[in-house]
Structure 1
Amino acid sequence: MRYIVTLFWAFILGQVVSYIGSALTHGTYNFVLTTIVSLITGVLIILVGMVAQPAKETTQKN
């Protein structure tokens, strides 16, 4: 479920950033390209989160 939420927010925030950026630079807003880049960025964020998780420590009490 957290992966779906991450991809959803990556999509939404990517669209917002692209729309505002294109408006500020007088460029054209491209929905398809923004969607692709946003979802790729979301997947990269998920992968970094998986790799960066610390290993669980196992301690034994004597």
Structure 2
Amino acid sequence: MRYIVTLFWAVLLGQVVGFLGGALTSTPYDFTWTLICSIIVGLFIIIIGKVAVPNHKTTH
């Protein structure tokens, strides 16, 4: 469930950033390209979260 939420927010925030970036640079807004980039960044964040956090197993 957390991966779906992460991808949802990545797409939502990516669309906002893409729209504002297009407006600031006077370039046309492209939904498809922004969606692809947002999903790639979201997947990258999920992968970093899985790799960066070590799994501590306690043995007593």
TM-score, reference length from structure 1: 0.90
**Number of residue pairs the alignment of both structures matches:** 60
Q: SS in structure 2 opposite 1:29?
A: coil
Unaligned runs of 5+ residues in structure 1 are: none
Any idea what the Cα deviations from partners look like across 1:21-61, whole Å, max 9, x if unmatched? 1001110100000000000110010000000112214242x
What is the root-mean-square deviation of aligned Cα atoms in Å? 0.9
Displacement of 1:6 after TM fit? 0.2
Matches of 1:12 and 1:55, distance apart in 2: 30
- Determine which structure has the larger helix proportion and give its number: 2
Q: Which runs of 5+ in 2 are unaligned?
A: none
Q: Percent identity?
A: 57
Greater Rg, structure 1 or structure 2? 1
> Runs of 4+ in structure 1 displaced over 2 angstroms?
57-60
Letter in 2 for 1:42: G
Q: TM-score when scaled to structure 2? A: 0.93
